[in-house]
């Protein structure tokens, strides 16, 4: 009966699989010389989607069956429902995946356009990153249980091995059949996973060590042997660090500096490190100010500052990431200022400004509330003052450090700085966003005042009620007004281009590699679009020759450039 129920439940899936196979078969019989069309796109969508789904089913099913076989002689038997589900996954998933995989491998061998297709790159990226995350998670879970309880979780081991083999097989396929340019995102995603896991584990280990030392020195707790607590993050670091080294140091670091590459370095490596440093520094500073201005009560100093090891660890790992990725970008003194440098400066300047604005708004709120009838620094209000001062002490230096750098570049080279798209976006965002915030809080403030007037309750307490919108209105209005003045000054100082002189805004680069020229063009203010050629240009001396070349062309995109009288270059582009 159970077998009949399983087969009945699998019937709808089998019908869908059959429909997909028929679609793939009909599409595959088309003329191979046909250009990319809707039929090819539909075929790729269905094939690669079903390959991902059936890969997941087959992996889960195989792991379940192996686990059931391994536990056959143990006292804890696998439930029959789990076995049935695993068998169903394998019976359906493995044959379908094997068939689609064989079909895809033939296409990859026979059609170079298939290797350059988005569908194939998407499939490989999802399969590689998914199996990488699964393998890391399973290994980390296994190690955690082993170190904490001494239990060997056989299921985690089996699943980890299976998904590790899946990752290995797809890496081999990617190195053999995938287009390197298409797989750049996969390398950066793998680097990001390795970096985040490594930094987290390093911070965890350092925090644990410092916590043990802190407790031993100040005798805040009975200190046991810290070997077990330190071993787990160190083992995780030993697993994650090679992943980062393999993806980043071995492959992605030397890749062309594309926007995605720069996003990884600037946004994740640098800005992520800055965030960790700011959070760690802010936590430590807040603890000190809270002790001085707040009401610690009967808590001892040693117990109050027990968060310091974690804060120091966050500062350490954040500074390491910040410093290393800053070195990867290179020394500014040795190269011309690029748009990447501007993104770096403006992001950090904006981050510091927002932090400082939060502190200023908090201080204004406390002051207005005190005028409305409350004491300024008593009890929990002292904690609020500590928060405000922390935000100001952290935010103002960060903002001023990078805003002064921006101002110096604007004074030395106003032409390039004022024409920068990054600067315009920065000013528009700050002026627009803070102006909108000020407008919303102005509406809230008027609502509160009018309501109290109509109800006859306008008094000192009304001022305390309106403290927050007033503080946000004043702070946001000041920020918006300052950046409006900067924007107006930029407009007045911007160089005027005569009608016969046009500033270059967009560059189209057609090349097989073009890495050196692409990095050089990054120093300009123009947007660069890169078209990758599939082969060297073919020179034609007549329109008829161009048409004949297009008739025989096997690539879907072709650029035709008129180089002279009756002289043409035909350049085939990658898909």
Q: What is the mean pLDDT of residues 177-183?
A: 86
* Claim to verify: residue 461 and residue 350 sit in the same structural domain: yes
* Claim to verify: residue 477 and residue 435 sit in the same structural domain: yes
Helices (H), 150-183: 154-177
Which tokens is 312 given? 């120091």
Q: What proportion of the chain, given as a percentage, has pLDDT over 90?
A: 26
pLDDT-derived band at 5, boundaries 50, 70, 90: very low
* Claim to verify: residue 395 and residue 523 sit in the same structural domain: no
Range(s) of the domain holding residue 48: 2-180
Average the pLDDT over each of 82-91, 441-450, 548-557 and give the range with the smallest value: 548-557
Q: What is the mean pLDDT of residues 457-483?
A: 82
Which tokens is 19 given? 């429909």
Please check whether residue 366 is in contact with residue 265, taking contact to mean a CB–CB distance below 8 angstroms.
Answer: no
Q: Which tens digit of pLDDT belongs to each residue from 15-61?
A: 444 444 444 454 444 444 344 456 788 888 889 999 999 999 999 99
* Claim to verify: residue 472 and residue 324 sit in the same structural domain: yes
Q: Which tens digit of pLDDT belongs to each residue from 487-518?
A: 888 888 765 544 444 556 677 777 766 666 66
Helices (H), 294-420: 301-304, 308-329, 339-371, 380-412, 414-418
- 198, part of any domain: no
pLDDT for res 262: 83
Helices (H), 71-117: 80-110, 112-115
Residues 6+ apart with CB under 8 A from 446: none
The span from the CA of 154 to the CA of 543, in Å, is: 69
Q: In what order do the strands lie in the sheet with 538-540?
A: 538-540, 567-573, 557-564
pLDDT-derived band at 227, boundaries 50, 70, 90: low
* Claim to verify: residue 44 and residue 81 sit in the same structural domain: yes
Q: Is the pLDDT higher at 473 or at 456?
A: 473
- 214, part of any domain: no
Q: Is the pLDDT higher at 334 or at 57?
A: 57
What phi and psi, each to the nearest 5 degrees, are found at residue 382? -65, -35
Please check whether residue 14 is in contact with residue 95, taking contact to mean a CB–CB distance below 8 angstroms.
Answer: no
The span from the CA of 315 to the CA of 346, in Å, is: 22
Pairing verdict, β 506-511 and 538-540: unpaired
SS3 content of the chain, % helix, strand, coil (to 5): 75, 5, 20
For residue 533, the 8-state DSSP code is B
Mean of per-residue pLDDT scores for the chain = 81
Q: Long-range contact list for 64-73, CB < 8 A, 24+ apart? A: 64/89, 65/90, 66/158, 66/162, 67/154, 67/155, 67/158, 70/154, 70/158, 71/154
The span from the CA of 232 to the CA of 252, in Å, is: 28
Neighbours of 424 (CB within 10 A): 13
Q: Which tens digit of pLDDT belongs to each residue from 239-292?
A: 999 999 999 999 999 888 887 888 899 889 988 998 899 899 998 988 888 888
* Claim to verify: residue 525 and residue 426 sit in the same structural domain: no
Q: Which tens digit of pLDDT belongs to each residue from 301-331?
A: 777 788 899 999 999 999 999 999 988 987 7
Q: Long-range contact list for 501-508, CB < 8 A, 24+ apart? A: 503/419
Residues facing 241 on adjacent strands: none
* Claim to verify: residue 529 and residue 561 sit in the same structural domain: yes
Average the pLDDT over each of 424-428, 437-441, 498-502 and give the range with the smallest value: 498-502
Q: What proportion of the chain, given as a percentage, has pLDDT over 70?
A: 81
pLDDT-derived band at 300, boundaries 50, 70, 90: confident
Q: Which tens digit of pLDDT belongs to each residue from 351-385?
A: 899 999 999 998 888 888 777 665 544 446 777 88
pLDDT for res 515: 63
pLDDT-derived band at 3, boundaries 50, 70, 90: very low
pLDDT-derived band at 115, boundaries 50, 70, 90: confident
Neighbours of 184 (CB within 10 A): 19
What is the reported pTM? 0.75
Alpha-carbon separation of residue 540 from 257, 369, 545, 550, 561 (angstroms): 34, 80, 6, 11, 10
- 439, part of any domain: yes
- 370, part of any domain: yes
Place of tokens 């009288």: 565
Q: Which of 180, 208, 240 is the last residue of a domain?
A: 180
The span from the CA of 453 to the CA of 501, in Å, is: 61
Q: Is the pLDDT higher at 99 or at 14?
A: 99
The span from the CA of 211 to the CA of 220, in Å, is: 10
* Claim to verify: residue 363 and residue 334 sit in the same structural domain: yes
- 240, part of any domain: no
pLDDT-derived band at 523, boundaries 50, 70, 90: low
Which tokens is 351 given? 């981050």
Place of tokens 């290393």: 324
- CA 209 vs. chain centroid, Å, equals 30
Pairing verdict, β 557-564 and 567-573: antiparallel
Q: Which of 180, 200, 234 is the last residue of a domain?
A: 180
The span from the CA of 189 to the CA of 187, in Å, is: 5
pLDDT for res 23: 46
- 431, part of any domain: yes
Q: Which of 148, 164, 180 is the last residue of a domain?
A: 180
* Claim to verify: residue 391 and residue 538 sit in the same structural domain: no
What phi and psi, each to the nearest 5 degrees, are found at residue 568? -140, 145
Please check whether residue 245 is in contact with residue 238, taking contact to mean a CB–CB distance below 8 angstroms.
Answer: no
pLDDT-derived band at 78, boundaries 50, 70, 90: low
- 54, part of any domain: yes
Pairing verdict, β 527-532 and 506-511: parallel
Concatenating the DSSP letter of every residue in 421-457 gives: HHHHHHHHHHHHHHHHHHHHHHHHHHHHHHHHHHHT-
* Claim to verify: residue 272 and residue 134 sit in the same structural domain: no
* Claim to verify: residue 470 and residue 326 sit in the same structural domain: yes
Query: In the chain, how many domains are there?
Result: 3
- 208, part of any domain: no
* Claim to verify: residue 88 and residue 156 sit in the same structural domain: yes
Q: What is the mean pLDDT of residues 219-241?
A: 73
């Amino acid at each position: 009966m159970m077998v009949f129920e399983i087969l009945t439940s699998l019937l709808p899936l089998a019908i869908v699989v059959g429909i997909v196979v028929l679609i793939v078969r009909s599409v595959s019989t088309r003329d191979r010389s046909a250009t990319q069309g809707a039929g090819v796109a539909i075929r790729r969508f269905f094939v690669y989607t079903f390959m991902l789904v059936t890969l997941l089913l087959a992996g889960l099913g195989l792991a379940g069956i192996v686990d059931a076989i391994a536990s056959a002689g143990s006292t804890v038997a696998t439930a029959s429902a789990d076995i049935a589900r695993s068998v169903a996954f394998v019976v359906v998933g493995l044959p379908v995946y094997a068939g689609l995989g064989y079909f895809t491998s033939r296409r990859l061998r026979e059609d170079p356009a298939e290797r350059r297709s988005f569908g194939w790159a998407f499939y490989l990226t999802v399969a590689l990153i998914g199996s990488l995350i699964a393998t890391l998670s399973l290994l980390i879970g296994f190690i955690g249980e082993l170190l904490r309880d001494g239990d060997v979780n056989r299921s985690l081991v089996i699943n980890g091995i299976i998904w590790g083999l899946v990752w290995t097989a797809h890496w081999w396929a990617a190195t053999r059949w995938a287009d390197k340019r298409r797989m750049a995102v996969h390398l950066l995603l793998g680097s990001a996973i390795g970096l985040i896991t490594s930094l987290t584990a390093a911070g965890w280990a350092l925090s644990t060590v410092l916590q043990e030392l802190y407790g031993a020195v100040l005798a805040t707790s009975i200190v046991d042997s810290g070997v077990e607590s330190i071993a787990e993050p160190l083992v995780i670091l030993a697993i994650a660090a090679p992943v980062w080294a393999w993806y980043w140091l071995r492959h992605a670091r030397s890749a062309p500096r594309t926007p995605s590459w720069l996003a990884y370095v600037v946004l994740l490596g640098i800005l992520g490190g800055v965030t960790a440093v700011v959070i760690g520094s802010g936590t430590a500073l807040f603890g000190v100010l809270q002790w001085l201005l707040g009401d610690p009560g009967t808590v001892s100093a040693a117990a109050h500052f027990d968060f310091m090891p974690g804060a120091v660890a966050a500062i350490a790992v954040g500074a390491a990431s910040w410093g290393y990725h800053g070195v990867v970008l290179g020394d500014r003194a040795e190269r011309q200022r690029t748009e990447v440098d501007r993104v770096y400066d403006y992001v950090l300047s904006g981050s510091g400004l927002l932090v400082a604005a939060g502190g200023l708004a908090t201080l204004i709120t406390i002051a207005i509330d005190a005028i409305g009838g409350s004491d300024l620094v008593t009890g929990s209000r002292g904690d609020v003052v500590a928060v405000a001062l922390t935000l100001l002490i952290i935010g103002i230096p960060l903002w001023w450090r990078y805003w002064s750098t921006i101002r110096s570049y604007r004074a030395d080279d106003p032409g390039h700085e004022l024409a920068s798209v990054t600067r315009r976006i920065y000013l528009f965002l700050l002026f627009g966003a803070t102006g909108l915030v000020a407008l919303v809080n102005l509406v809230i403030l008027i609502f509160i005042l009018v309501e109290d007037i109509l109800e006859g309750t306008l008094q000192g307490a009304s001022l305390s009620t309106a403290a927050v919108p007033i503080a946000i209105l004043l702070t946001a209005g000041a920020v918006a007004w300052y950046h409006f003045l900067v924007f107006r000054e930029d407009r007045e100082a911007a160089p005027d281009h005569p009608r016969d002189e046009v500033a270059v805004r967009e560059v189209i680069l057609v090349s097989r590699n073009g890495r050196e020229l692409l990095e050089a063009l990054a120093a300009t203010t123009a947007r660069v679009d890169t078209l990758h050629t599939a082969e060297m240009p073919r020179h034609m001396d007549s329109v008829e020759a161009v048409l004949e070349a297009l008739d025989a062309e096997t690539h879907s995109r072709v650029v035709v450039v008129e180089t002279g009288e009756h002289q043409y270059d035909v350049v085939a582009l990658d898909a």
